[in-house]
Structure 1
Amino acid sequence: MSEHPLPASREASRRAGDDGDSQFRLLRERRFAPFFWTQFLGAMNDNVFKVGFSSLVTFQAARFSGVDPNTAAFLISAIFILPFVLFSATSGQIADKYDKATLTRLVKTFEIAVMLVGGAGFMLHSAPLLYVCTFLMGVHSTVFGPVKYAYLPQHLKSSELVGGNGLVEMGTFVAILVGTIVGGAAAGLAAHGATLLAAACLAFALIGRAVSGFVPKSEAPQPDLRINWNPFSETWRNLALAREDRTVFLSLLGISWLWFVGATFLTSFFNFAKDVLSANPDVVTILLATFSIGIGTGSLLCEKLSKRRVEIGLVPLGSIGISVFAIDLFFASHRIPPAGHLLDVGEFLAVASHWRILADLFLLAMFGGFYSVPLYALIQSRSQPTHRARIIAANNILNSFFMIVSSLMALGLTSLGVGIPGIFLVTALLNVVVAAYIYSLVPEFLLRFLAWLLVHTFYRIRLVNAERIPRRGGAVLVCNHVSFVDAIVIMGESPRPIRFVMDHEIFHARFIGWLFRHVKAIPIAPAHEDAALLERAYDACGRALEAGELICIFPEGKLTRTGEINQFRRGVSEILLRRAAPVVPMALGGLWGSVFSRDEGGRVPRPIRRGVMSRLTLTVGEPLDPADATPEHLQRVVSALRGVRK
């Protein structure tokens, strides 16, 4: 293939075609498909083994001496997670130092050996051997985790990252579903169940190793890295790397919290089915299938809802849905009368109240997809490539810690007599508290949520040349000022955080001032009101540009009262005197005449309904050299970008 760049028209056409393609096209491409099926088979095999083991010790406890069926599922989960705590730091270094395709093949070879141990445990009904296999499968997943999530940004474009992560999340939970069905069905065969489990686990490991041979080469981002084999000091160093970017670190905590919630639900399903729903193991498969399909649906919808961008505004939406439907699950299940016998699938589905439980599980999981996919994509896009795998390793360390705490919490609540529905309720309420805490620390999530809600509920926005907003480095964004929601719209369409220059009175408003302070808005005042504050604002803008940040200023200095663009002031010129940077002109059209503007006849846009009054346009111009960014020239450029539509 030629290395010469495409002509501009052809390149634009190719990019437009890519944007219109479905994320499923990646499943036809070698850069993604072998990797996807390798991780799919690994996740499926994990669950064939764990579900088979959990089902046998829950429903056939007599065949495994010394095993408590009430706590076995939580113990299996804790043992599987333990290697993540011990070896994630080392795994992250290995993934940054070596080719990921080679590591993938080594991991899949190791899986074959592990499944030979597990097969022996099933054949001999040996709980100790099966616990050892559980630990070794945890080692397998620990090593593969940093490889998996660091692989994607090496082989996918930024516009494909959300779709690729969505496919991986969907594939993982479909694999969980298939593994659950296979593991549960095999374990349900009293005579030959253990033999079938042993054969299936080994067969899937062999197939996974064969598929991994097609994973393309992935250059090591830091081949000269010296590995620190001390897991404790390296764990601390990885967490320190993650903390360098506050948003990334809090995103890691957010993902880890989701694993806390997910682990609580998934490990409770066996006892939930048996003790609460009076159902047999086949109903566990229905519960897990519903959960898996829900999170797969949410993961796939993320690309459409986010317009192929890393849209962290979906994260608060996801956390709200998780809590709402988890609380409803408590009310739907905590007073179900015992059936007197274990219901089969047909009997279970014949009860109307059980459909509410399935709906809650599906919607809870779907909102979990909205929550997780943007966070994974955010971490991948904002982490430095040279130590991205170690950031993922830090994520795995935190995930494992949170899942272990989840298991301990469930064990503690169970010992206090709290039933499974009560555990669900406690988890839902904790989710409210944790979500509120994280969003108070990083209001960027909430602001992006407000922007996403505004645009998707009331408006349809048309972006023109949005790729001209720089993805790296400092720049000054300049836009006309039409309404009170201009900043929200611009922020919602930017690939990066923006520091807005805003009126000091709004910045210090009683109720929303904390939000503006946390997103590092820059307060400004006219010289006749507070000359010192004006100078501090210009200096703050200069420091922000020097640090490589985006700042946005509305040079009119006030909202338009007529819909026409007011005269641009010299604020941009004063900022550029402190620090020279590219100036990106932008224009908003379509907000004049809405209730958010100063139009006396302003109307409230109708939710959902699409029409002329619901269309917005954000047009981005070519970046200007600082020397050309005079107030007069900027006003002419912004006016031309806006056109006749106000």
Structure 2
Amino acid sequence: MAYNQFELLRQRRFLPFFVVQSLGAFNDNVYRQAIIGLLASIGLSASQQSLYTNLAPALFILPFFLFSATAGQIAEKLEKSRLIRITTTMEIVIMSVAAVGFLLQNMPLLLVALFGTGLQSALFGPVKYSILPSVLKPEELTGGNGLVEMGTSISILIGMFAGGLIFELAGSHGPETAATAIVLLAIAGNLVSRMIPPVDAGMPDLKVNINPIPESRRVMALAKKQPAVRNSMLGVSWFWFFGTMLTAQMLTYAQVNLGGTASLYLLPLALFSIGTGIGSLLCEKLSARTVEIGLVPLGAFGMSAFLLDLYFARPDAAVATGLTLAEFVRAPGSLRIMIDFTGIGLFAGIFIVPLFALIQSRTPKQEISRVISAVNIQNAMFIVLAAIAGIALQMESFKVGDTVVPMPGLSIPQLFLCLAIANTLVAIWIFTIVPEFLMRFLSWVLVRALYRLELHGIEKHVPDEGPALIVCNHVTYMDALILSASIPRPVRFVMYYRIFNIPVMRWIFRTGKAIPIAGAKEDPEIMRKAFDAVDAALAEGEIVCIFPEGALTKDGQIAPFKGGVEKILERRPVPVVPMALRNMWTSMWSKRDGRLARMRVPRRFRAHIQVVAGEPVPGREASAAALEARVRALRGDAA
């Protein structure tokens, strides 16, 4: 039976954690929406309601600035299931205080509890994402993150609906109902947390520094050591900027531009959340169970495309007003708007899941909680910036003393247009400074368009960290791209310099830091530089892939392996992973059909091919002949 990511929901290593984090997200939103319901029910003035509704988000986000760095250290030091039990116990205490606030209809007390929920979320955030690499296999990381993002999105959505309905359905008993609901949900989360199996601490001897300012600087520096992780963090924070800017406009957008009642804003929010959940789940299928950061550009440009279409779908205020949900759905043009919101969410899910999976897979396990805390600090900054930018861009002017300063005064559709353009520019910038993102995207598109790819043993035998040499048979001009799309870690390919210099492909190979090589008789200087580059890459803990046959096969059979692999291992005896490409001889760009026929679309367009990895061989025991035998066995008769 084929693997399905939903199998994780039947396993104790994942299910209790998934339920706990979903209940937490659900309870937070029930609580926040119930506060809004209470504000409407106790008859506060419009100015008082505005004060509380603007103060509430600030109180919730403030703990992320103050305590995230400390939370990352604690999550690194403590056994993770124990920390989750501590945080869910905190939730019971905080929600008990909130319950008293509801019963007394005391807004200051409710805001104190809201600050407490922010504190609890800041403590839970690092362990939420750092636990996944410890309990999931590398090939399950994308699927597990997809489930977590889906669970969070749907829990937030249902929590908003449930919290918003409490005071409508319960009437005069709304405060009692809200108080009971949030405490029971907190207790349920704590009970489920006790089923989470123990997960070792990342760094039990770590000394916790509670001073937030120097420690925040320290964890930010720690997170920025690797360019790919640093820019994945930037991508995650941009996602929160984008989402905050988009969702903060929903209430006004629903009334002014969609012509609906105040409650209609829940429809675009629901569609966005559902789309995000679907996109998150699709990531595992699209990535073939690897951490495929090539999906990130796809997600970014998809978000921009649907947001741009949303602007053109309704650029002005609606003609009708006061539409109910059913009336809006039946109105002309509404289907396009609903598809746009769903599409934005879907590609947002495709964008965010690989970024989190990359951060988890590329960060040492003894540092990951602190790196996630750095992500949370940066996210909080971007959320605040998004809120300020959303308000500023819609202002027509403001006064500084006696001077009136003009402002853009954008409508909400115009704001969406600016956000779509900004999202595209930010995506291009990120992919420019970290070409690996764009290179993986191009590899992913080419390989998935031209082949049906099946992987075996990659996640089991390719090491998650440290140096390794990969040896593989060489069948087509696409072999390096196929392997780079199959292996979750960046790979330095050693390839014949004439293939390296193929137009268009050259840019991809150069961006991927491929190493061109020539024969000793053809160009000894290129060969010397190639071996030096291979040794330097292995010394840096990278993966290097060579094709020991030295050339493409001319008859579909594996040629004898040359001694270059032994020369590499003499200098640096790293583990060697034998790999085989199967069913490639009759696919695109092999030499089977001759030089002229190679450039036309062959008979086996989208051929079903396989990449198979075998058990690593210690470098000191490997020889060209032994590795050749292993690759032959892996390929079998599937030439």
Q: Corresponding residue for 1:168?
A: 148
Q: Corresponding residue for 1:461?
A: 453
Q: What is the distance in 2 between the residues matched to 1:617 and 1:510?
A: 27
Q: Residues 123 and 194 of structure 1 are in contact (CA less than 8 Å); yes or no, is this contact kept in structure 2?
A: yes
Identity among equivalent pairs (%) = 44
Q: What is the distance in 2 between the residues matched to 1:438 and 1:239?
A: 18
Q: Which amino acid letter does the alignment assign opposite residue 423 of structure 1? A: L
TM-score by length of 2: 0.88
Deviation at residue 635 of structure 1 after TM alignment:
4.8
Q: Residues 439 and 511 of structure 2 are in contact (CA less than 8 Å); yes or no, is this contact kept in structure 1?
A: no
Q: Corresponding residue for 2:7?
A: 25
Please give the per-residue CA displacement for 1:56-100, whole angstroms capped at 9, x wherever unaligned. 76x78962453475x976654344222212210000011111233
Residue-pair matches, total: 622
Q: Secondary structure at the match of 1:139?
A: helix
Q: Corresponding residue for 2:246?
A: 265
Q: Which amino acid letter does the alignment assign opposite residue 43 of structure 1? A: A
1:476 aligns with 2:457: no
The more displaced of 597-606 and 375-384 is 597-606
Q: What is the distance in 2 between the residues matched to 1:62 and 1:508?
A: 73
Q: What is the distance in 2 between the residues matched to 1:521 and 1:74?
A: 52
Give the CA RMSD over aligned residues.
Answer: 3.0
Deviation at residue 146 of structure 1 after TM alignment:
0.8
Q: Residues 458 and 614 of structure 1 are in contact (CA less than 8 Å); yes or no, is this contact kept in structure 2?
A: yes
TM-score by length of 1: 0.87
Q: Corresponding residue for 1:494?
A: 487
Q: Corresponding residue for 2:589?
A: 596
Q: Corresponding residue for 1:310?
A: 291
Q: Corresponding residue for 1:8?
A: none
**Distance change >3 Å, CA 560–CA 218, structure 1 → 2:** closer
Q: Residues 96 and 222 of structure 1 are in contact (CA less than 8 Å); yes or no, is this contact kept in structure 2?
A: yes
Deviation at residue 476 of structure 1 after TM alignment:
1.9
Where does the alignment leave 5 or more consecutive residues of structure 1 unmatched?
A: 1-16
Counterpart pick for 2:232 among 235, 251, 254: 251
Counterpart pick for 1:329 among 301, 310, 325: 310
Deviation at residue 448 of structure 1 after TM alignment:
2.5
**Distance change >3 Å, CA 496–CA 288, structure 1 → 2:** same
Q: Residues 587 and 605 of structure 2 are in contact (CA less than 8 Å); yes or no, is this contact kept in structure 1?
A: no
Deviation at residue 249 of structure 1 after TM alignment:
1.9
Q: What is the distance in 2 between the residues matched to 1:453 and 1:515?
A: 13
Q: Which amino acid letter does the alignment assign opposite residue 100 of structure 1? A: K
Q: Which amino acid letter does the alignment assign opposite residue 450 of structure 1? A: L
Please give the per-residue CA displacement for 1:479-503, whole angstroms capped at 9, x wherever unaligned. 2332221111011111321111234
Q: Residues 184 and 282 of structure 1 are in contact (CA less than 8 Å); yes or no, is this contact kept in structure 2?
A: no
1:38 aligns with 2:31: no
**Distance change >3 Å, CA 199–CA 68, structure 1 → 2:** same
Q: Secondary structure at the match of 1:164?
A: helix
Q: What is the distance in 2 between the residues matched to 1:215 and 1:248?
A: 28
Q: What is the distance in 1 between the residues matched to 2:622 and 2:199?
A: 43
Q: Corresponding residue for 1:231?
A: 212
**Distance change >3 Å, CA 592–CA 187, structure 1 → 2:** same
Please give the per-residue CA displacement for 1:172-216, whole angstroms capped at 9, x wherever unaligned. 111111111112223546755555444433332233233333333
Q: Corresponding residue for 2:529?
A: 536
**Distance change >3 Å, CA 153–CA 629, structure 1 → 2:** closer
1:362 aligns with 2:342: yes
Counterpart pick for 1:85 among 65, 69, 87: 65
1:301 aligns with 2:282: yes
Counterpart pick for 1:344 among 324, 328, 333: 324
Q: Residues 590 and 613 of structure 1 are in contact (CA less than 8 Å); yes or no, is this contact kept in structure 2?
A: no
Counterpart pick for 1:140 among 83, 105, 120: 120
Q: What is the distance in 1 between the residues matched to 2:574 and 2:190?
A: 51
Where does the alignment leave 5 or more consecutive residues of structure 2 unmatched?
A: 396-407
Q: Secondary structure at the match of 1:417?
A: coil
Q: Corresponding residue for 1:14?
A: none
Please give the per-residue CA displacement for 1:458-488, whole angstroms capped at 9, x wherever unaligned. 3112334433333333222222332221111
Please give the per-residue CA displacement for 1:419-478, whole angstroms capped at 9, x wherever unaligned. 222222222211111111222222222232233323333311233443333333322222
Please give the per-residue CA displacement for 1:508-556, whole angstroms capped at 9, x wherever unaligned. 6786655444432223344455433321221121122222221112234
Q: What is the distance in 2 between the residues matched to 1:160 and 1:439?
A: 25
Q: Corresponding residue for 1:276?
A: 257
Q: What is the distance in 1 between the residues matched to 2:91 and 2:617?
A: 55
The more displaced of 500-509 and 31-40 is 500-509
Q: What is the distance in 2 between the residues matched to 1:604 and 1:88?
A: 56
